[in-house]
Structure 1
Amino acid sequence: MKLLSKEQVYEGDRLTTERQGILSSDLMERAGIQIFNWIHDRMQGAQVPIHIFCGIGNNGGDGLVIARHLITHGYEVNTYIVNYSEKRSKDFLVNYDRIKGVTKEWPIVLNEEFTKPEIAPQDIIIDAVFGIGINRPPADWVLDLFRHLESTKAFTLSVDIPSGLYTDRALEDASHAIRANYTLSFQTPKLVFFLKDTYSYTVQWEVLDIGIDRQYLGNVETKDELIGKNEVVVKYQPRDKYAHKGDYGHALMIGGSYGKMGAITLASRASLQAGAGLVTSYIPQCGYNILQNSLPEAMVETDPHTNRITEIKSSINFDVVGIGMGMGTHAETVGALRTFLEQNKAPMVMDADAVNMLSKNQSMIDLVPKNSILTPHRGELRRLIGEWSDDFEMLERVTQFSNKYSLIVVIKGAHTITVFEDKRYINTTGNPGMATAGSGDVLSGVITGLMGQNYSAIDAAIMGVYLHGKSGDLAVEKTGYQSLIAGDLIYHLGASFLSLFEQDVPPPPEEES
């Protein structure tokens, strides 16, 4: 799913009204009715006080549409106008006039000297104060209103985006935005729903289709794309009946050190489980028996050193390299990596200590083959590109790094983000149970295994991240968050692949009593 920038949202609105021959107020009516329907389907006329706070722009106009339809359907509605400016949008004024036709209780206007509305914890708040167009912090008195609304503990539903959040930059202060329990976003979700600094402003979100022009949505090029099942299944490469193991690549997995052989074992197993035809693990001598006993499907080559890797001289013809898992950063290991990079031409997946060694020896980054993949978590990323002030700066700096070196960067996190060629692919699978030792090693193995099967580097990264997260989602249904371990992710990879082809069947309708 494409994530539209606010400029692209405005353009989509404009083209929709033009091509469908409707007024902008008609599009606003359509959006407001969608939210009303969502609420009405769930409340079914229940008499819970609903407090709708409307700004004086188009987001406020959406709120007035919602209020009007709730009123005409018999709900107990209190409508407020947050009068933060003398300017009003045209469509706000249209709907301000319309609401007067359905109730004698006109909206309550809140100004700088407002009286705090009485709202009980069991009431519902609908936040329609600011939309995506906000470009500066709200006035102090509006922030006081926000704090009051939060203090009520009432369920808060935001229209399109929690008021105060920007779509394209960080907040000046954490208190400058509404914290919503649920956000109903028009047509596409917003990037800020998936960033570490801003995800907490909406506990849950859902997209409502308001009929934006399909041709525009199909053709528009976006910087950000949300990756779900539909985006991944089209990348899947079916296997030929007469294929053999040589058709699916030979992955060389390099890593391990004394006491850290688990990491390279997990990565090697994940590479095989992801479909690599052959896997050879290049490890220090201390891990030989461990690998041979725990992973009989893999071949093993050993470094001259007992406890760490000091040179990388493999006798095999490999197609892809996964490197860094449990490898350590000893000076001899750094030298081995540099020499290997000077000689190697195969694409690479570089994780953990391989990334750390690049961070400390940045001249080696130029030696990494183009279109290779780096898979840092945030701590490793800071060492690689330096500190950032907020998530938007982080993404910009990673984009610059990716373009400079022609490398793919997979930023591991709750919503892992893959960055390449000015594009950002935001993953939707995964869960907190995956915050466990070895989870990243499994991811590196999965991506390496996919690359060995002739998936392009970017497809291997996107698909690998999705399947890895989906494996976690399938596993956690059996283990719970606390008991999930990295081996569970590997065990569920097969089911993760199969889930790509399962039909999403909606639950049967509830029988009327």
Structure 2
Amino acid sequence: MKLLGLSHIKEADRLTVKNQKITFLDLMERAGLAVFNTIHERLQGAQVPIHVFCGLGNNGGDGLVIARHLVEHGYNVTTYIVNFSTNRSEAFLVNYDRLKAIDNEWPIQLKGEEDIPTVSSNDMVIDAIFGIGLNRQMEPWVKKLISYINASNVFVLSIDVPSGLYAEKSPEDETAVIYSNVCLTFQAPKLIFFLPETAKYAQDVDFVDIGLDTGYLNEVDTKMDLILKNEVLKLYRPREKFSHKGTYGHTLLIGGSKGKIGSMLLASKACLRVGAGLVSALIPECGYHVIQTGIPEVMVVDHDNDDYLEDFKFELDPSVICIGMGLGMHKKTILAFAKFLKENTKPLVIDADAINILSENSELLDYIPRQTVLTPHAKELERLIGVWNDDFEKLEKVKLFSKKYDCILIIKGANSITVYHDEIYVNTTGNPGMATAGAGDVLAGMISGLISQGYGALQASIFGVYMHGSAGDIAVNGLGYQALLASDIVDKIGPAYLELFKQPEQPVNA
């Protein structure tokens, strides 16, 4: 599913009006009616006091349409106009007059702090003050209105975006943004609903179809995609009846050091669970018995040094190499890693300490193969690309890094984002229980196992991140967030495959 930016939304509106031979007012009426229908379906006429706060632009116009339909259907509605400017959009003015024509009490004008109304925690607020096109500084008294609404513990439903939230940058003042319980956003998801700094302003987001031009929506290349089950199903590569283990490649995992062999065990097992035909682990001698007894299906390439790896020699011919889990930062390990990079010709997945080595020895980045996958956690990413001021700057820095080294970076988090050049893929699976030691090792193993089977590096990253989150979602059932272990995620990779092909349950006829 495509994520739409501000320019895409404006163009979709323009083409909808043009191609469907309607006016912008018709489109606004359609949007407001769609939101009203959603509200009406949930409230079913309940007489909860509803406060509709409308700005002076098109978002305010949407609010006026919604308020009019609520009044016409007998709801207990009070509408307020937030007069933060002398300018009003044409659509606002038309819908203002339409509301006045059917409402005996004209909308209440708010012009300053002294006009801020009282709302009760048992009421409902519809927030239509500012829309996705917000590009101005907010008046101090409007900030106080927003702060009051946030502090009132009232149920807030925002229209399109929570007011005060910009479309393509983080807010400067967190107190000047509505915290909504539900946001009904038009037609398609927006990136701001999936970034840590901006997603928190909407507890729940629902998409309202307002009939925007389907030709444009199908053809536009936004370079931003939301990854749901349907997108992942398109990537899936079914197994052939007459295939064998060699058909699905041979993954070599390199890592481990004394006290950190568990990371290699998790990554190796995840690699097998996701479907790699053969898996070998190159580890120091201290991990030999751990791997051999913990995962008998994995072949071990061990070296004489007992505590850490000081060379990465191997005679096998792997399909892909995954390196870094528990590797450590010993001086001899770093030298061996540098030598390996300069000689390697195989596809790479780079994780953990291998990323830290690259961060401290940036000249080695010139030796990573094209479309190498890097899976840093937040601090590793910071060491790699430098500090950032907000999530949007972080994304731009990651894009620049990806283009410079022609690599794929995964920004791990609640909605992990896979980045390749200017393309971003936002994941929708996963849960807070996955913030646990070893979960990243599992992800690295899964992605390398998918590449081993013939998936392209980008496809393996998108697919792997989704399946990793799906396995975590399945595993957390019956355990709770606090009790989830990385090994639980590995154990649920199989059920995650089954879930991928599970058909939605059909309603039972009465």
**TM-score, normalised relative to structure 1:** 0.98
Give the Cα separation in 2 of the matches to 1:203 and 1:330.
Answer: 45
Checking the alignment, whether the CA contact within 8 Å between 1:123 and 1:155 is kept in structure 2 is yes
Residues 113 and 145, structure 2, Cα contact 8 Å, conserved in 1:
no
Q: Report 1:1-400 matches (<5 A).
A: 1-400=1-400
For the residue of structure 2 that corresponds to 1:424, the secondary structure is: strand
Write the deviation string for residues 307-364 of structure 1: whole angstroms up to 9, x where unpaired. 1011001111101011111111111111111111111111111011111110011011
CA-CA distance at 1:482 after TM superposition: 1.1
Residues 54 and 80, structure 1, Cα contact 8 Å, conserved in 2: yes
Helix, strand or coil for the counterpart of 1:101?
helix
Give the SS at the match of 2:81: strand
Aligned letter for 1:423?
E
- 1:411 aligned partner: 411
How far residue 478 of structure 1 moved from its aligned partner, in angstroms, is 2.2
Q: Secondary structure at the match of 1:297?
A: coil
> Under a length normalisation based on structure 2, what TM-score does the superposition of the two structures give?
0.99
Structure 1 residue 113 displacement after superposition: 4.9
Aligned partners of 1:164, 1:508: CA distance in 2, in Å?
A: 44
Q: Cα–Cα, structure 1 residues 507 and 66, in superposed 2: closer, same or farther, change >3 Å?
A: farther
Where 2:477 maps in the other structure, the secondary structure is helix
In structure 2, what is the Cα distance between the partners aligned to 1:391 and 1:508? 45
Gaps of 5+ in 2: none
Secondary structure of the 1:204 match is strand
Distance in 2 of aligned mates of 1:160 and 1:242: 51
Are the equivalent residues in 2 in contact too, given 1:161–1:190 (CA < 8 A)? Answer: no
Q: Give the Cα separation in 1 of the matches to 2:504 and 2:441.
A: 30
Contact 2:147 2:176 in 1 (8 A): no
CA distance in 2, matches of 1:136, 1:270: 49
Contact 1:180 1:203 in 2 (8 A): yes
Alpha-carbon distance in structure 1 between the residues aligned to 2:504 and 2:213: 26
| Contact 1:375 1:412 (8 Å CA) reproduced | yes
Structure 1 window deviating more from structure 2 (27-36 vs 499-508): it is 499-508
Gaps of 5+ in 1: none
Q: Aligned partners of 1:50 and 1:433: how far apart in 2?
A: 37
The alpha carbon displacement at 1:141 in A equals 1.0
The residue identity in structure 2 corresponding to 1:499 is E
SS at 1:3 equivalent: coil
Deviations 1:191-233 (A, max 9, x none): 1111111111111111111111111000001131111101100
Deviates more, 1:268-277 or 1:88-97: 88-97
Q: How many residues align?
A: 510
Residues 6 and 167 in structure 1, CA contact (< 8 A), matched pair in contact too? yes
Distance 1:184 1:114 in 2: 30
Task: Describe the superposition over 1:245-293 as per-residue Cα deviations: whole angstroms up to 9, x where unpaired.
Answer: 1111100001111011100100000000010000000000000000000
Partner AA of 1:64 in structure 2: L
Say whether the 8 Å CA contact 1:137–1:176 is kept in structure 2. no
Residue 505 of structure 1: CA displacement?
3.2
Cα separation, 1, equivalents of 2:507 and 2:487: 32
What is the DSSP-based 3-state SS (H/G/I as helix, E as strand, rest coil) of the residue aligned with 2:328? coil
Which one is further off, 131-140 or 280-289? 131-140
Deviation at 1:84, TM superposition (A): 1.1
Q: Residues of 1 paired with 2:14 and 2:279: CA distance? A: 54
**1:421-458 Cα deviation digits (max 9, x unpaired):** 20111100000010111100000000000000110000
- Provide the C-alpha distance between the structure 1 equivalents of 2:206 and 2:283, rounded to a whole number of angstroms: 47
Corresponding residue for residue 466 of structure 1: 466
Distance 1:119 1:191 in 2: 31
Deviates more, 1:33-42 or 1:120-129: 33-42
Root mean square deviation of aligned Cα: 1.1
CA contact (8 A) 2:113 2:144 kept: no
Deviation sequence 1:83-108 (CA, Å, 0-9, x none): 11111111111111111122111100
